[in-house]
Amino acid sequence: MRTKISLRASVKFQFTVNAMVLQANKSFERTLPFTILFSEYHSRLDVPSAHVYSDCDLNQYTTVKGFTIMSNTVKDYRLDGIYRQRQDGFFMQRVKLAAGVIPAVQARAVAAISTRFGRGTIHLTTRGSMEIHWLKETDLPEVKRALASVGLTSRGACGGAVRGITCSSQGAVGFPAVETMARRLHRHFTANPRFERLPKKFKIGVETNAAGRRHLIQDIGLVLSGYDEECARYDLFAAGGLGREPQPGFLFEAGVSENRIIPLIEAIARVYAAHTPAGKRLKHLVRSIDENEFRRLVALEPSAAEELPEVSGLQENLIQISGNRRMSARIYAGCLTGDQLIELADFAELFADGLMMVTAEQEIAFHVTASHNPAEASAALSRCAFNANPVSFRVCPGSHECRMGLSATRNVAQAIIGAMGPAGRTKSWALSGCHNSCTQPQLADIGIVSSSLAKDDSGERSPRFDLLLAGSDVFGTVTERSLTLDELCSKVREIG
């Protein structure tokens, strides 16, 4: 009962804020060069809301008389998958890849774009996307066209939208079914205006099994649970996420038929859009109204019980799994040049049916086809010239390029690798440049989060780090806080 009252009060409050913002907007427009970001999506969704901004990059916003507004001088490209870099005048373009799969022909296009418009560097993300850095604003339309010319899209790769559909079980036997599902979700939610301008990002991951725990860090995590005649079934987990307040997703419904997955996710996204304050993830909504109320609200949505007609036709997956023929190129910090990506595309065309996969470990993986000798393929892959990562170590761009970064992550990772002994090299590591936890440090054996900047004796500001260790909890937990880099390296030496 208390929850119902609070929801009604919240809706009333939102209407009040809307009216105030409209009024304020009229007067500001006459006097100031600002526009209040007044979300259009709620008229499309037919739900009341007062979303004033939709993601965590607040650098483009300012507050005037209590209202959050966006400067007209700053263009918001996030729904096109573009973030401003830390360096003024430069932009990062993220490219969505369903389940991380990319044909060599598309990889060549990404390499060419990075060389022509950027500085020839590409970053692989832990969510199976590619990022092209160092783009100029005037080149962004041409970049978008060049991506479209090979069938790639970046729509919704950033901002309050359904992000790229991820999969970290690309080597598993069940991957073809999961890749098909990922493609279906990617097609349905990408550029769908009903699911853009959400309160914040909305992440979906599809896995063949629960072993990697990545289904627990998504807004919606799907785990293939079996088959019922021709129909695949999935366990659907909801409201997970990492960041400053990690929260594992909970099992929303077991054994959901594949024909109900899209309408059920639509229902959850609508409840999320209607009841969540701007800038908050689904996990915040579930925490504030509790699981039962969340389930009740979802059940009220007409699409919650909808079953789409059975999908007939051929599988849509590209990767054929045949035996244990998976190989991967480890790439330090997920950074490679356009030329290196082209070398890997050449390898894919020779040995792997022209198909490549960006993995959750920031590698490029391949399935060597049955007609090729794996030993020969392995020798060919080892001849590719790229910076092989000596340990399993996920690293985000940090302050090298990201506006949120508190530390120069690639340099910090090098220092940590230098301090490691043989025992450390057998562990999995992840370093994030801020609390956003893009490298999923809570899922590594040893996770490191750049947690703050602190002034040292000379008055210089330097990063401090939290250390997380995997244990019996679902996620690794913080064992040390606010370490200097020297202190962090000492801890690494203790691991051996």
Of 114 and 451, CB closest to ligand SF4? 451
Q: How far is the CB of 493 from ligand SF4 (least distance, A)?
A: 25
State the Cα–Cα distance between residues 435 and 451, nearest whole angstrom.
Answer: 6
Q: How far is the CB of 405 from ligand SF4 (least distance, A)?
A: 4
Q: How far is the CB of 437 from ligand SF4 (least distance, A)?
A: 6
Q: Is residue 95 a contact partner of residue 152, using CB atoms and an 8 Å limit?
A: yes
Helices (H), 32-132: 41-45, 104-117
Of 103 and 240, CB closest to ligand SF4? 240
Of 106 and 432, CB closest to ligand SF4? 432
State the Cα–Cα distance between residues 60 and 69, nearest whole angstrom.
Answer: 9
59 burial via Cβ count (<10 Å: 0-12, 13-18, 19+): exposed
Residue with tokens 């729904």: 79
- The residue number with the shortest CB distance to ligand SF4 is 433
Of 86 and 295, CB closest to ligand SF4? 86
State the Cα–Cα distance between residues 54 and 196, nearest whole angstrom.
Answer: 10
Instruction: DSSP letter for 141, please.
Output: H
Q: How far is the CB of 294 from ligand SF4 (least distance, A)?
A: 27
Q: Is residue 35 a contact partner of residue 29, using CB atoms and an 8 Å limit?
A: yes
**Applying CB under 6 A, which residues contact ligand SF4?**
396-398, 402, 404-405, 432-434, 436-438
Of 94 and 367, CB closest to ligand SF4? 94
Of 90 and 250, CB closest to ligand SF4? 90
370 burial via Cβ count (<10 Å: 0-12, 13-18, 19+): exposed
State the Cα–Cα distance between residues 42 and 216, nearest whole angstrom.
Answer: 29
State the Cα–Cα distance between residues 241 and 257, nearest whole angstrom.
Answer: 24
Q: How far is the CB of 228 from ligand SF4 (least distance, A)?
A: 39
Q: How far is the CB of 272 from ligand SF4 (least distance, A)?
A: 21
Q: How far is the CB of 401 from ligand SF4 (least distance, A)?
A: 8
Of 261 and 404, CB closest to ligand SF4? 404
For the chain, the distance separating the N- and C-terminal CA atoms, rounded to the nearest angstrom, is 55
Instruction: DSSP letter for 25, please.
Output: H
